[in-house]
Amino acid sequence: MRVQITTFLGADVEEYSKLSESKVQSMEIYCAKHLDEKLSYHGAYFRKIKETGEKLKIQRLICKRCNNDFGGGTVSILPDFLLPRKHYSANEIESVVKQNEEGVAVYDIETEASVPTVRRWLHEMKETMQKWISLLKTIVMEETKGFISEAILAPLPQTEQLSELLDKLRPIKYSGNVLGRANIWLSDRLRLFST
């Protein structure tokens, strides 16, 4: 099984292409099963951003003990402007979700994606964002030792709920979209749940 971690690796494709390989190779990421085992460089694969046609080289890491024990999986390091298992950028998907939250009909949403793709995103992202909101509430309470007002949060669209929660956490470097910023905070927790 391939696990994916999201982090800031540049604000855009150009910056990512220049810096990602050296940044990933200098990261200290440890195996979720073998907590004392630092993941090592294992190679890369290419991923295309569908709406722009740009290709990115995605770096992969591996735990040598997992690989020996289980014929193990790898960990891909994604830039925060991509979402796991999506061909379009997080910016494009977030734009679609926000337009829908503003009441724009599916057929009128401005995107390169087809109507069936837009419908699938809206369905998937509604469930995904609800899970992220729940996890972020836990992280906010742990990090800030504070509380969250459901009276303020609940009426907001999901992207705004994510923003509200993320704004309560310490600032992190990210490329500018809410989905990517949330995914940076959550990918480590989601990785632990998937092992």
How far apart are alpha carbons 20 and 113 in whole angstroms?
27
19 close to 9: Cβ distance less than 8 angstroms? yes
pLDDT of 13-51, one tens digit each? 999 988 888 888 788 888 878 888 888 888 889 999 999
Instruction: Say what the pLDDT of residue 36 is.
Output: 86
Query: Does the structure show a pLDDT above 80 at 194?
Result: no
Q: What average pLDDT is seen over the chain?
A: 89
The three-state secondary structure class of 119 is: helix
Q: What is the pTM of this model?
A: 0.87
Query: Contact 69/62 with Cβ under 8 angstroms?
Result: no
CB proximity list for 170: less than 8 A, separation 6 or greater: 143
How confident is the model over 57-75, as a mean pLDDT? 77
